[in-house]
Chain A
Amino acid sequence: MSIAPLTSPPPFAHRHLLGIEGLKPPEITFLLDLAEEAAHAIRHPAAERDALRGRTLINLFFEASTRTQSSFEFAAKRLGADVMNMSIRTSSVQKGETLIDTAVTLNAMRPDLLVVRHQAAGAVELLSQKVDCSVINAGDGAHEHPTQALLDALTIRRHKGRIERLIVALCGDILHSRVARSNILLLNAMGARVRVIGPSPLLGGGIERLGVEVYRSMEEGLADADVVMMLRLQRERMSTALIPSSREYFHFFGLDREKLSFAKPDAIVMHPGPINRGVEIDSVIADDQRSVINEQVEMGVAVRMAVLQALAPHLQSQA
């Protein structure tokens, strides 16, 4: 391993990736540039990569997830790592083992990287304090989901050439969304204008203090938007009386051709997936050429490769 001279600090000096909060704009740009290269590499698989050869990555998912987990697995394997998937929901936690116990047990297996998703906000940070390896937050409660925000930013940049000064509208369940939180932090850090649109019970009081413009109607909120980012609506929002029905929700906040017409003609449509067709987005729009939803999935792998590469120099030296 080459050692950088002391005068130029590494462009990414973190041991963990726990959130977008705490990242400086040059660090975000560094990750996006690295991801851009990775995206190229994915399409041209001749280029062999071995940044994580001999390293072990554990996917530790306390909440079910297909795409994020497989995206990390794919990214890690492309970089030469051994990957182990642990579905914790069906094992030790049900026997009363605490998160800390799990962390200590896994730590004893000496992995190099832990990718963690947990239903409680702050759980991944807590876990990172108890293990020796690098930890990546793959979503903690309604707090953060940093790789999602990075892949969204990469997708935006590839289409718009920049992030600065773009009008980005986040639509739907902001209050319960870690995707929304990480995106608001990242987009604000990179100089975009961020709007949130949704019914009040899904926005939460005081949301404007996160540095966003707040709208209760799609017509106003989408006016002149460069990017329309739809969020997934959980079924339980109806059963807990936050909103009345999916029918009414779709009527006012579901993205269809008419509502999208308020945005700029070249606006792109994004969604973190999986999509509820006919609840937050019309099928026609999801499959429209302005939709970049599939590209988001591809960029997901690229961004995760970039994050793994950025963390690689900080991994503990192998015994």
Chain B
Amino acid sequence: MLLEEITKAHAAETRPTAYINARLIDPATGLDEQGGVLVADGKIADVGRHIHGEIGGDTALIDCGGAVLAPGLIDMMVFTGEPGAEHRGTLADASRAAAAGGVTTIICMPDTDPVIDDVALVDYLLRRARDTAEVNVHPLAAMTKALAGEEMTEIGLMQAAGAIAVTNGKLSLANARIMRNVLAYAHDFDMLVIHALEEPTLSSGGVMNSGEVSLRLGLKGIPAAAETIMLERDLRLVEMTGARYHAAEISCRASLEIIRRAKEKGLPVTCGVSINHLSLNENDIGPYRTFFKMRPPLRTEDDRQAMAEGLASGDIDVVVSAHDPQDADVKRHPFPEAADGAIGLETMLPVALRLYHNGDIPLASLLRPLTSNPAGILGLESGKLAIGAPADLVIFDPAVPWVVDAETLHSKSKNTPFDEARLEGRPLLTLVAGRIVYRYAEDRNS
């Protein structure tokens, strides 16, 4: 059967299924060859050149028509409105957007109402995810109560309840003593600490990158130094404590240099970049377009190029969507008063493919920070085409051209900076634990 023919009925297939005639890309091993994947019992039963049309027995066959078959994407930074702001977005619609974007695992930020800072809330979120989400959901727990940066949360207990790492969410923990204590304590549990980078006293009042554009627009700027100061401080504390540390999002060339040096020193440090900072720059704000208002702010074109270089060189470990649903009520304001954030789950892979089409980065290297790298950092079994790994897979055509229409995206909030963007490449089929959770053929016809 061809991919285009798959319908809901086939999606419920429980027999072992062979996905054949695919371009297999396994970023973990660098594998890039024609072949197939055999899926059984929700896991990858076999993979390689020898999986082709002649497989007999009870096995269902699906012909990928030469499309790329890769591990499903793992997105380390997803905000949802659940709990507290379900009108902006829920786990359910984030999950549908993820599936449509080839993302099979989402890591949810604790910036909700209430903040995920307690064992019961971690448990609640996991139960909601089980009941309403079709992709894998792992919660991040707040590392300080209410993200206020003052009292440490029950990191060990929340880890036991299923929190995959701790973070202070969108906010940087300004108090260095408390940050030191959190790092030292998290280290005892081998708990990863994910941290946003913004020295708040330097960025105070700022609404976009500080520079010529902010000067022209008469908007208060956030200097890149607000990011590098916080990053340098954190790295000193990592040196003191030995904690595993992940810089949530870097956005400027100077931060990349700092990360590079820290890695040369052998510190247990990784970093992420958002798809927005890989593909957009401050000029995109143009006449005060609030869908391009985000934190960290879009920086200069030189910074954007640095992010692409850092991705190609491997110094940047992870690409995130930073999916942050905001509705018109908070976006349709004068720029300084509008909310930060952009949705991105559904467009992350197609936008990332721009870097591949531009020749900035080979396909396997592009997929690594979207799959095997986050899996490694978070200790997940997925993110690779390996026998026994969960059958979390995406089949995508890297070349098909399409135009983004915000209204047809699956996210409840439509605040995409890529509305009407011309993109090349999109997911055709997404599987979570062997189950089909997204079919482009059906999406297109609906």
Contact = CB atoms under 8 A, between A and B. Distances in A.
Contact of A122 (B210, B215, B287): B287
Interface residues of A, number: 24
Interface in B184-216: 210-212, 215-216
A118 B288 CA distance: 14
Task: Determine the interface band of chain B, counting residues with CB < 8 A from chain A.
Answer: 10 to 19
| Residue from A118, A121, A175, A204 whose CB has the most chain B CB atoms within 10 Å | A121
Given A98-B333, A120-B336, A123-B334, A181 B287 contact: no
B137 to A, nearest CB: 33
Contacts of A209: 212, 215
Contacts of B329: 98
A140 interface: yes
Given A125-B287, A125-B288, A120 B334 contact: yes
B415 to A, nearest CB: 15
B210 A141 contact: no
Contact of B335 (A122, A205, A206): A122
A141 B215 contact: no
A206 B288 contact: no
Contact of A210 (B215, B335, B337): B215
Contacts, number: 64
B217 A121 contact: yes
Contacts of B335: 120-122, 126
Given A205-B210, A205-B211, A206-B211, A126 B334 contact: yes
B212 A121 contact: no
B218 A99 contact: no
A123 B332 CA distance: 10
B218 A178 contact: yes
Contacts of A207: 215
A121 B218 contact: yes
Given A121-B288, A125-B287, A125-B288, A204 B332 contact: no
A252 to B, nearest CB: 23
A99 B215 contact: no
B333 A181 contact: no
Contacts of B332: 98, 100, 126
Contacts of A78: none
A122 B288 contact: yes
A118 B337 CA distance: 12
A119 B332 CA distance: 16
A210 B216 CA distance: 8
B219 interface: yes
Interface string A114-133: 00001011110110000000
A183 B361 CA distance: 46
A229 interface: no
A226 to B, nearest CB: 25
Nearest to B223: A205
Contacts of B215: 175, 204, 206-207, 209-210
Nearest to B337: A120
Contacts of A120: 333-337
A142 interface: yes
B336 A141 contact: yes
B334 A121 contact: yes
A206 B99 CA distance: 44
Contact of B217 (A98, A100, A143): A143
B49 to A, nearest CB: 56
Interface of B: 210-212, 215-220, 287-288, 329, 332-337
Which A-B residue pairs are the 9 nearest by beta carbons?
A122-B288, A143-B218, A120-B334, A142-B218, A123-B334, A121-B218, A120-B336, A122-B335, A209-B212
